[in-house]
Amino acid sequence: MEFRQLGKTNLKVSLLCLGTMSFGEQNTEKEAHEQLDCAIDAGINFIDTAEMYAIPPKETTCGLTEKYIGTWIKKYQQRDKYIIATKVAGPGMDYVRGGSRLSKKHVEEAIDHSLKKLQTDYIDLYQVHWPERKSNYFGRLGYEYSAEDDGISIGETMDALSDAIEAGKIRYIGVSNETPWGVMEYLKLASKKNQPRIVSVQNPYSLLNRIYEVGLAEISHRENVGLLAYSPLGFGMLTGKYEKSAPPDSRLGLYGDWFTRYSNDMCKKATSEYIKIAKKFDISPTHLALAFVNTRPFLTSNIIGATTLEQLRENIESVNIKLTDEMMEEVEKIHELIPNPAP
């Protein structure tokens, strides 16, 4: 397993990170623990979760993912052997903290709740799950400004995160579903107020969504704030299992209405072309998609998720797949024809 430096920290995270959003919805506590054991045994030292998981978000399953990871941490111990990342929910969830926001009070409360659920004394990487302001995330295209949409300032959120680092509750901070402006604003405020810098950006990135390459990739390089890529398989589209129809027990089969960005006609067309490339070079579509993300120079870690151990093992095997120049040329041809069908 390859390891990469997390921002300017002294932490080395595995090239693959275990995503856990299915824990508590599609996966039982026992299955969650089996996945965690499998990942650790394979050399993965990086685990990502969020206070509002499982997915899709529901009041009845909110917090279950952290809870399941917490019971595993209590059982596994050896807390210094792995890196835990979680997230504070942005606005819009009425059943989270009585209406989730990113104010100092809310952030402090969220951190304390996560520490308790995770049964740990500290969180290695604490991320803002999505911005307080209305902006371009979760597939939203086009930007229209309204002062009423700004909400809690990034400065207030930063104050809360800085205080939590000083208190020893969290070690480092990152953002998620952010724009180039948002990332630079966090960095600017950190410099201006002598506060800790963000060390990562967790945004979607896959063969179906390479928007990160426009603006954010350069920031990752110049500011040493790498990408934690989520949905590298496009919610499972790029595995090829949806080529004919969505299996009833699959994510798109169960929750397709939540994630229509991955099931539009252009996504299906692009996916079909990428599957042809995989077949041509005799590798699995999953390996093609994940190995492509693994090659990105702005990537810190690729967040893989699975509902079965078989899927997880196939995902992990992607670290051993090397894409040839010919394969990459074929990929770029499809991207030029059908760019970013799932932004």
- The domains of the chain, with CATH numbers, are 3-236+296-321 (3.20.20.100)
Average pLDDT, the chain: 94
Please state, in angstroms and rounded to a whole number, the distance separating the CA atoms of residues 14 and 30.
24
Tokens of 321: 């797949």
Do the beta carbons of residue 303 and residue 202 sit within 8 Å? yes
Residue 257 has pLDDT above 80, yes or no: no
Least confident of 64-78, 105-119, 255-269, 276-290: 255-269
Residue 317 has pLDDT above 80, yes or no: yes
Please state, in angstroms and rounded to a whole number, the distance separating the CA atoms of residues 66 and 23.
9
Tokens of 5: 């430096």
Please state, in angstroms and rounded to a whole number, the distance separating the CA atoms of residues 11 and 167.
19
Q: Which residues are catalytic?
A: 53
pLDDT classification of 77: cutoffs 50, 70, 90: confident
> For 179-206, what is the mean pLDDT?
97
Please state, in angstroms and rounded to a whole number, the distance separating the CA atoms of residues 173 and 16.
19
Where helices occur in the chain by DSSP H, the ranges are 29-41, 64-76, 104-118, 154-166, 180-193, 216-223, 251-255, 265-280, 285-294, 309-317, 325-337
Question: How much is the pTM?
Answer: 0.95
Residue 340 has pLDDT above 80, yes or no: yes
Do the beta carbons of residue 259 and residue 235 sit within 8 Å? yes
Please state, in angstroms and rounded to a whole number, the distance separating the CA atoms of residues 288 and 334.
13
| Residue 103: per-residue pLDDT | 96
Strand partners, 198: 173
| Residue 145: per-residue pLDDT | 79
CA atoms within 13 A on the CB side of 202: 27
Tokens of 223: 């500011």
Running DSSP on this structure, what letter comes out for residue 100? -
- Higher pLDDT residue, 242 or 33? 33
- Give 1's contacts (C-beta < 8 A, 6+ positions apart): 14, 15, 16, 42, 43, 44, 319
- φ and ψ at 206, to 5 degrees? -165, 180
pLDDT classification of 258: cutoffs 50, 70, 90: low
Tokens of 53: 């998981």
Do the beta carbons of residue 168 and residue 203 sit within 8 Å? no
Rounded to 10 degrees, the C-alpha dihedral 279/284/290/291 comes to -70
Do the beta carbons of residue 28 and residue 58 sit within 8 Å? no
Distances 317 to 85, 238, 287 between C-alpha atoms, Å: 23, 16, 8
pLDDT classification of 148: cutoffs 50, 70, 90: confident
| Residue 255: per-residue pLDDT | 65
| Residue 261: per-residue pLDDT | 78
| Residue 337: per-residue pLDDT | 97
Least confident of 7-16, 147-156, 191-200: 147-156
| Residue 323: per-residue pLDDT | 97
> For 218-245, what is the mean pLDDT?
92
For tokens 């206070």, what's the residue?
Answer: 51
Tokens of 194: 């002598």
Please state, in angstroms and rounded to a whole number, the distance separating the CA atoms of residues 166 and 209.
37
Residue 259 has pLDDT above 80, yes or no: no
Classify the C-alpha dihedral 130-135-136-138 as positive or negative. positive
| Residue 249: per-residue pLDDT | 66
Do the beta carbons of residue 11 and residue 200 sit within 8 Å? no
Helix, strand and coil content of the chain, in percent to the nearest 5, comes to 45, 15, 40
- Higher pLDDT residue, 210 or 139? 210
> What does the pLDDT look like over 158-185, one tens digit per residue?
999 999 999 999 999 999 999 999 999 9
Please state, in angstroms and rounded to a whole number, the distance separating the CA atoms of residues 128 and 173.
8
- Give 12's contacts (C-beta < 8 A, 6+ positions apart): 3, 4, 5, 6, 45
